[in-house]
Amino acid sequence: MASTINGERISVLEDKCIGAGNCVDAAEKYFDQDDDTAKVVLLRDVVEPGDGDSVRRAVNVCPVAAILLNSSGA
Amino acid sequence: MSFPTSDDVWPFARDSAQPLLPPPRFAELRDEGLVEVKMYDGAPAVLATKYADIRDILMSDAVSSDGTLPNFPYVSDATRANRGERRTFDRLDPPIHDEHRAMLASNFTQKRIRELRPFVEEVVSNLLDEMEKANGSADFVTMFAQPIPAQIICRLLGLPLTDAPFFFDRIHIWTNDQGNPDDIVKATAELLEYFDQLIDERIGAEGSDIITGLVNKQLVPGHISRPQLLLTFHLLLIAGFDTTTNMIGLGTLLLLRNPDAWRELVETEDPELVPSAVEELLRFLSVAHSTHIRLARGPIPVGHQLIPAGAGILAPQGAGNHDPAQFPDPDTLDIHRDARGHLAFGAGVHQCLGQQLARLELNVVFSLLPKRFPDLQLDVPFDELPFRPNSMVYGVESMPVRW
Ligand code: HEM
Ligand code: SF4
């Protein structure tokens, strides 16, 4: 379910990232972009309570599927 | 190919009674899944009309945008002339695409674009002041929709605003998909020559604009060749001028056709409403109605089907953005719906580089315009508006308004 991803781990595939910046718009607490390369910078890698929707949103709006979620850490 | 074949020739026509909607044929074909249609020269191409299928295609590692590959589909001799040999990075595949795009990307990060907000607000406010002086009526396109992106792109690239008419003229010729191929080749040559001279002027120059930066940080150290850099400038100019202009023009028109939505924007105090409305306008209008042509480099899995290697592909964003499985009641404008995830900026590695800038421009426009001109209305009957079906980017040539 959409909002039960607390505790899931986020990882990013920097090589794939094209610096579109959509993830920053969706979940600023988790994603930023490098000033020089525009590539995604992960600010924290565990989804905190209440943030499930915005992180999932970031996953969905990434044009190259460079953001991954996995529940193994949960 | 093993897909249902239709006699349809691409591109499909819009319904003249509903010129703001994508061609109605999309909805009729959607249940069939992938279908095979014909290009103008009789060549076959696979057409996708479902949101999920279009996304799968555009995001596939096996899809190519390289128009020089054999069997790459074209819609006319004109597009062959203007896109065939022009190897700007929107028509290149990874890894070269990624290298060229990366040289520009730092200019378009969320942070850099947010810093531009005061400047964009100033540009838009000044144009609204100008419009106010125009005695109650004006052509919205020349007075407002065109100058905004023109002033912003000129500033970002460090180009004199006095050259904007030259750019407009060449871009207009260049983007006509049914234009004369010779004219198109000439317009490209003139733009490239302009940039060629500019490069000489900018070598060793100081300046924070994109052109000066690329010349001194990429060209001079030899990271990019001069012909390739010229093409990058050409791409930025074309991509940044016309698209945003048409979103401002058609976006305003669509809101005026939906008076309840317009009223809400006039009256709202909610900072979330304009961003949501902007995404919905982008989705609904999908103005980049010709940037969906691809070729399968290898087999491409789409849903439960497979597009074979070598097939020409059409993955029109407008069809995906009006798929009821993704956006319920898709032909109704709903500025409260969550339209993010739409395909108006494409998907995959070519997804619009300028999208955060375009969003900023549209957010400023639709924050300020309705409040300054709450009584804005069309000054001609809707069905007399000159739409541009043959242009690379959909739009209106002119849009007389009064207030
Ligand atoms: C509302 C306005 C805009 C729309 C609807 C739009 C739409 C698009 C679309 C659909 C693509 C993908 C093309 C493809 O897949 O072949 C694209 C690519 C591109 N756009 Fe935009 N665009 C807009 C504004 C801008 C602006 C303001 C700029 C630059 C200042 C820009 C620069 C680019 C560039 C450079 C590409 C090529 C990206 C690549 O191939 O990696 N666009 N745009
Ligand atoms: S949305 Fe995807 S491509 Fe864009 S910056 Fe974030 S990770 Fe990179």
Residue A22 placed within a domain = yes
Which ligand sits closest to the CA of B108?
1
Q: Give the pLDDT of residue B17.
A: 95
Is the predicted pLDDT of residue B52 greater than 70, yes or no? yes
Range name among B106-110, B239-243, B246-250, B358-362 with the lowest pLDDT average: B239-243
Q: How far is the CA of B232 from the centre of ligand 2 (A)?
A: 22
Say what the pLDDT of residue B83 is.
Answer: 63
Domain count, chain A: 1
- Three-class secondary structure of residue B66 per DSSP: coil
Could you tell me the residue range of the domain that residue A30 belongs to? 9-70
Per residue in B332-341, pLDDT tens?
999 999 999 9
Confidence of residue A2 (pLDDT cuts 50, 70, 90): very low
Judging by DSSP bridges, how do beta strands B312-314 and B377-378 pair with one another? Answer: unpaired
The atom number, within ligand 1, closest to the CA of B393 reads: 5
CB atoms within 10 A of CB B373: 19
Going by pLDDT thresholds of 50, 70 and 90, the confidence category of residue A1 is: very low
**CATH number for position A27:** 3.30.70.20
The pLDDT assigned to B39 comes to 95
| Least confident piece of the model among A1-10, B64-73, B75-84, B273-282 | A1-10
Domain that holds residue B42: 5-402
Neighbours of A47 (CB within 10 A): 24
Q: What is the pLDDT of residue B78?
A: 76
Residue A3 maps to a domain? no
Average pLDDT for residues B123-129, to the nearest whole number?
97
> Does A4 fall in a domain?
no
Instruction: State the number of CA atoms in the 13 A half-sphere of B26 facing the CB.
Output: 28
Is residue B354 scored above 70 in pLDDT? yes
- On the question of pLDDT at B85 being above 90, the answer is no
Phi, psi of B306 (to 5 degrees): -135, 125
pLDDT digits (tens, 9 = 90+) for B1-15: 579 998 899 999 999
Task: Name the domain count of chain B.
Answer: 1
Question: From CA B127, how far away is CA B138, in angstroms rounded?
Answer: 12
- Per-residue pLDDT of A16-70, as tens digits, reads 999 999 999 999 999 999 999 999 999 999 999 999 999 999 999 999 999 999 8
Q: Does residue A19 lie within any of the structural domains?
A: yes
**Edge-to-edge strands, sheet with B377-378:** B137-139, B400-402, B377-378
**Which residue in chain A is spatially nearest to B107 when comparing CA positions?**
A38
Looking at the predicted structure, is the pLDDT value of residue B84 above 70? no
Which ligand has its closest atom nearest to the C-alpha of A40? 2
In this structure, the number of other CB atoms found within 10 A of the CB of residue B238 comes to 22
Pocket of ligand 1 (CB under 6 A): B 65, 89-90, 101, 153, 235-236, 239-240, 243-244, 247, 287-288, 291, 317, 344-346, 350, 352-354, 357-358
Any idea what the CATH number is for the domain that residue B50 is in?
Answer: 1.10.630.10
Q: Is residue A55 a part of any domain in this protein? A: yes
b/e sequence B19-54, b meaning 16+ C-beta within 10 Å:
bbbbbbbbbebbeebbbbbbbbeeebbbbbbbbebb
Work out the number of other CB atoms within 10 angstroms of the CB of residue B386. 11
Contact assignment for A19 to B347 by CB distance below 8 Å: no
The complex's ipTM works out to 0.90
Which pTM does this prediction carry?
Answer: 0.95
